[in-house]
């Protein structure tokens, strides 16, 4: 494989990634080890097992520095990085041969920086927004029109839904009651300590009412294909963005431990998705379409409830955006420590000014 073909394969991989670029970072860290002499190009070609799992740790050590998070996708999803349609050993070896002084590593991290700058632009727009001038349609349009971050539109939809759910549950003052059947008082007495610790009830207080709360069970990612929202006492709703552009049947039939699954999709895709759900026998709580989300946000931010909901909703959305799209201030130091800032290889096909 020549360097041109290797670069095309790397660019295809980068184009398919969400903003965190975990897989390209993994490639960069493998190349870095070759450059440092702890791996050889012969090993890249002939001994995949010598770097398949170690490279995940190398990737995670860098992503902790740059993003304060690590990849949580399934092992199968992570391992397909080295499949023939991604970056197989022969392609990886070609990249290593072209990585003079780290120019391919630098190329990957510059592309990473470019993605983060696009997200930072959105974050800045969100941080200065007020209920009166924020429009969800404009926010989502940024993800749809910018090819660099379009792959992360599922994250955008899911955090938008969560921010609204959380805001409404709090302002509606929804309560949840947990009560033991009074005919089982002997059993409650026998396991009183357990019941008190886990459910907050005991013999003297066999029922308790608490404000309902929703909790995010981690970040969205490609492995779980959705965002889990946990209510009090382990009721779980998974919010999942799906589109007919992807492997729809696989997305819909994905096994979930959630009590309820809510799909989020574009308006024109709803009827088709409902039909596929019926054919697959998939039971779902419901489908939210984009126009509904926009209407609900308009009502909360600009309608009759703007005074009580507007500031809180925007605050929740900002918090979830920062959680889902973190950008560490450590990138510049990391870039300099690796020497990428001093590198000058304008004749390389991987050179970026």
The per-residue pLDDT for range 151-188, each reduced to its tens digit, is 888 888 888 988 998 899 899 988 888 899 999 999 99
Examine residue 346 and state whether it is found in any structural domain, yes or no.
Answer: no
Number of domains, the chain: 3
Same domain, 52 and 146: no
Whole-number Å distance between alpha carbons of 246 and 154 = 11
Cα 145 to Cα 65: distance, rounded to the nearest angstrom:
29
| Residues 80, 40 within the same domain | yes
State the pLDDT at residue 322.
Answer: 87
48-62, 247-261, 270-284, 312-326, range with greatest mean pLDDT = 48-62
**7 and 33 co-located in one domain:** yes
The more confidently predicted of residues 24 and 353 is 24
- Whether 222 and 165 map to the same domain: the answer is yes
Among 55-59, 184-188, 245-249, 334-338, the minimum mean pLDDT is found in: 245-249
Pair 149, 167 in one domain: yes
- Kindly state whether residues 204 and 267 are assigned to the same domain: no
- For residue 190, what pLDDT band results from cuts at 50, 70 and 90? very high
Q: What is the DSSP secondary structure assignment for residue 70, as one 8-state letter?
A: -
Residue 224 confidence (pLDDT): 43
**How do residues 34-59 score in pLDDT, each as one tens digit?**
999 999 999 999 999 999 999 999 99
Mark which of 83, 98, 113 sits at the end of a domain: 98
145 contact partners, CB below 8 Å, separation of at least 6: none
The residue whose two tokens read 């981690």 is 218
Best CA proximity match to 324, nearest among 214, 215, 221: 221
Query: Which of helix, strand or coil describes residue 175?
Result: strand
Check residue 200 and give left, alpha or beta (phi > 0: left; psi -120 to 50: alpha): left
pLDDT tens per residue, range 93-106: 999 999 999 999 99
Length reported for the chain:
353
Q: Tokens for 350?
A: 């991987």
> Do residue 15 and residue 142 come from a single domain?
no
Residue 307 has pLDDT above 80, yes or no: yes
Do 192 and 202 meet the contact criterion of CB atoms below 8 Å apart? yes
Say how far apart CA 316 and CA 229 lie, in whole Å: 14
Residues of the domain holding 283? 132-173+213-324
Task: Give the model's confidence band at 245: pLDDT under 50 very low, under 70 low, under 90 confident, else very high.
Answer: low
The CATH number of the domain holding residue 317 is 3.40.1350
Contact residues for 348 (Cβ-Cβ < 8 A; gap 6+) = 98, 100, 103
pLDDT band at 259 (very low <50, low <70, confident <90, very high): low
The answer to the question of residue 349 being in a domain is no
Cα–Cα distance for residue pair 21/71, rounded to 1 Å: 10
- Examine the domain organization and report whether 279 and 188 are in the same domain: no
Does residue 40 sit within a domain?
Answer: yes
Asked if residue 185 belongs to a domain, the reply is: yes
330 inside domain: no
| HEC profile of 83-94 | CCCCCCHHHHHH
Which neighbouring-strand residues pair with 238? 228, 261
Q: What is the DSSP letter of 341?
A: G
In-domain check, residue 107: no
Q: Is the pLDDT of residue 21 over 70?
A: yes
Q: Are residues 199 and 263 in the same domain?
A: no
Backbone angles phi and psi of 118, in degrees to 5: -65, -40
Percent of the chain residues topping a pLDDT of 90: 54
């Amino acid at each position: 494989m020549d360097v041109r073909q290797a670069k095309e394969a790397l660019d295809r991989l980068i184009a398919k990634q969400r903003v965190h670029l975990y897989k390209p970072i993994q490639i960069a860290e493998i190349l870095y080890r070759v450059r440092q002499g702890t791996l050889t190009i012969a090993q890249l070609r002939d001994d995949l097992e010598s770097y398949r799992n170690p490279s995940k740790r190398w990737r995670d050590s860098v992503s902790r520095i740059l993003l304060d998070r690590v990849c949580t996708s399934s092992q199968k999803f992570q391992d397909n990085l080295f499949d023939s349609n991604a970056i197989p050993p022969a392609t990886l070896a070609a990249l290593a041969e072209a990585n003079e002084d780290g120019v391919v590593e630098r190329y990957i991290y510059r592309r990473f920086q470019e993605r983060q700058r696009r997200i930072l632009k959105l974050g800045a727009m969100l941080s200065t927004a007020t209920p009166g001038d924020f429009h969800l349609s404009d926010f989502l349009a940024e993800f749809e029109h910018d090819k660099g971050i379009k792959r992360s539109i599922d994250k955008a939809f899911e955090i938008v839904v969560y921010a609204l759910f959380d805001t409404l549950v709090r302002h509606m003052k929804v309560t949840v009651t947990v009560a033991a059947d009074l005919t089982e008082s002997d059993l409650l007495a026998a396991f009183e300590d357990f019941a008190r610790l886990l459910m907050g009830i005991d013999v003297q207080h066999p029922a308790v009412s608490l404000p309902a709360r929703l909790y995010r069970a981690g970040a969205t990612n490609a492995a779980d294909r959705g965002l889990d929202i946990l209510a009090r006492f382990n009721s779980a709703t998974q919010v999942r963005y799906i589109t007919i552009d992807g492997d729809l049947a696989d997305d819909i039939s994905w096994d979930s431990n959630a009590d309820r699954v809510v799909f989020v999709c574009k308006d024109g895709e709803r009827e088709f998705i409902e039909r596929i759900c019926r054919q697959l026998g998939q039971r779902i709580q419901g489908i939210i379409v984009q126009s509904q989300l926009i209407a609900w946000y308009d009502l909360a931010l600009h309608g009759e409830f703007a005074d009580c909901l507007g500031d809180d909703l925007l605050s929740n959305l900002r918090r979830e955006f920062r959680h889902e799209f973190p950008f560490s201030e450590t990138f510049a130091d990391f870039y300099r420590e690796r020497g990428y800032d001093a590198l000058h290889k304008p004749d390389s096909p991987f050179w970026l000014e």
